[in-house]
Amino acid sequence: MRNTILIAVITTFTFCACSDREKPVDMTGDKKSETASKYEIGKVSEKPLSSYVKLPGQLKPFEEVNIYGRVNGFIKEVLADRGSTVYKGQTLVTLEAPELESQLQAAMSKYVQAQENAVASRDKYKRLKEAAQEEGAVAPLDIENAMSRMKADEAVVLSEKSNVESMSNIKSYLTITAPFNGMIVQRNVSAGALVGPGSKSNDLPMLVLQHLERLRLEVYIPEAYVDKVDLKRAVTFVFNAMPGKENKAMISRSANALTSLRSEAIEIDVNNKSLDLKPGMYAEVKIPLLSEAKSLLIPNNAIVRSTEQQYVIAVKDGKARLVTIQEGLRTNDSTEVFGNLKAGEEILLHATDEIKEGTVIK
């Protein structure tokens, strides 16, 4: 019993000692500390980020043409198929159009008739002119009428000759030839099909011809890098289908105009004599930049992304200012940005979209 009372007394003193040590916490001091360290400040830096920029590129044929019939007609024979290598001037398709033959024969008949009339008028004029050597034998008016008739008939001859040449040219449209050396990559017709000029956007061409021994590697340069590209240095590129094989070439041409996506198209000519490369292949292209070109860099954690925009929160006069940016190149800890920022300007790190424009930054 005595032991039980002793344990109870010890327990009571222990509880009282613990209670004496638990004092009220001063929340004011913690709030001040929290407020002082609530925001973490960083700065915008300016320095060269990289000597090149990586951009995707796509191979396109150096020349490509959709081949349509130039006149309405039925396909008589298709002399080239998909995968066929063809040469300039080679016959690809022959058409037949009986009405064109009839029109050409009619034009030829009119031309011959006009020639006969012109010959008769010329002979008549010569005879009257010879007879006029005897005074009073032929009236001057008859000679003038004969000369006018002769000139009119000769004009008709020229007109009918032009008509015949025109019909002959139209008839030549029945033979479709290759406009340049290349390969047929698409065939959409067979013998007996009715074809004509492609007047509608959904009209399929008879054949599609591409020049594949030289290709164009098309790359779109973002507006921010357009004036930083070093045109004196070679571009390096690796095709996704051929990893590890690096190629080099100079930039061949540029559009000198921006697209609706605010980028400029450049082209790099790629030799493809072996035909190993195919149009449509993608490549990773390293575009060299001018060595003096500098970029604005900010820490990766300073960027705030929302559904509407991406921005950083700059600190100006102790208040938050939301600055819309566009991202460029990205490294492990920094991101290149474009926007209304200056080197040395203070920005918030680990910022969130809960911070609004004008918020006091202490």
From 3.40.50.2300, 3.40.50.10490, 2.30.110.10, 2.40.420.20, which CATH number describes the 294-349 domain? 2.40.420.20
Q: Give counts: helices (H), strands (E), the chain.
A: 4, 21
Q: How confident is the model at residue 64 (pLDDT cuts 50, 70, 90)?
A: very high
> Model confidence over 76-128: pLDDT tens digits?
999 999 999 999 999 999 999 888 888 888 889 988 999 999 899 888 888 88
The CA distance from 31 to 35, in Å, is 6
21 φ, ψ (degrees, to nearest 5): -75, -25
Res 350: pLDDT: 87
How do 207-222 and 52-67 pair as beta strands? antiparallel
Higher pLDDT, 189 or 17: 189
> Model confidence over 211-247: pLDDT tens digits?
999 999 999 999 888 888 888 889 999 999 998 889 9
Give the SS3 label for residue 284: strand
Higher pLDDT, 329 or 274: 274
Q: Specify the fold of 98-171.
A: Helix Hairpins (1.10.287)
Average pLDDT over residues 172-183: 92
Higher pLDDT, 13 or 341: 341
Contact 270, 277 (CB under 8 A): yes
Q: What are the angstrom distances between the C-alpha of 182 and each of 61, 178, 215?
A: 10, 8, 12
Whether the per-residue pLDDT at 18 is higher than 60: the answer is no
Q: How confident is the model at residue 187 (pLDDT cuts 50, 70, 90)?
A: very high
Give the SS3 label for residue 279: coil
The CA distance from 67 to 94, in Å, is 13
| Locus of tokens 């080099």 | 248
Q: Tell me the one-letter amino acid at 285.
A: V
The CA distance from 42 to 297, in Å, is 11
Average pLDDT over residues 295-323: 87
Confirm or reject CATH 3.40.190.150 for domain 53-62+213-288, answering yes or no.
no
From 2.160.10.10, 3.40.50.1820, 1.10.8.60, 2.40.50.100, which CATH number describes the 68-96+174-207 domain? 2.40.50.100
Average pLDDT over residues 255-265: 90
Pair of tokens at residue 203: 């009209």
Average pLDDT over residues 152-180: 89
How do 304-305 and 295-299 pair as beta strands? unpaired
Q: How confident is the model at residue 319 (pLDDT cuts 50, 70, 90)?
A: confident
The CA distance from 35 to 27, in Å, is 12
Res 6: pLDDT: 42
Kindly state the percentage of the chain with pLDDT values over 70. Answer: 87
Res 47: pLDDT: 78
Q: What are the angstrom distances between the C-alpha of 117 and each of 109, 110, 127, 158?
A: 12, 11, 16, 12
Whether the per-residue pLDDT at 199 is higher than 70: the answer is no
Pair of tokens at residue 230: 């070093």
The CA distance from 278 to 276, in Å, is 7
Pair of tokens at residue 138: 């032929």
Res 183: pLDDT: 95
Q: What are the angstrom distances between the C-alpha of 201 and each of 189, 197, 198, 204, 205?
A: 17, 11, 8, 8, 10
Average pLDDT over residues 179-195: 92
Burial (CB < 10 A; 0-12, 13-18, 19+), residue 238, is middle
Question: Average pLDDT over the chain, rounded to whole?
Answer: 83
The CA distance from 162 to 164, in Å, is 5
Sign of the alpha-carbon dihedral angle for 353, 358, 359, 362: positive
CB atoms within 10 A of CB 175: 12
Whether the per-residue pLDDT at 159 is higher than 50: the answer is yes
Pair of tokens at residue 76: 């008589």
The H or E element containing residue 56 is strand 52-67
pTM of the model: 0.61
Average pLDDT over residues 279-283: 95
Q: What are the angstrom distances between the C-alpha of 89 and each of 86, 175, 178, 180?
A: 9, 10, 5, 7
* Domain coordinates in residue numbering, the chain: 53-62+213-288, 68-96+174-207, 98-171, 294-349
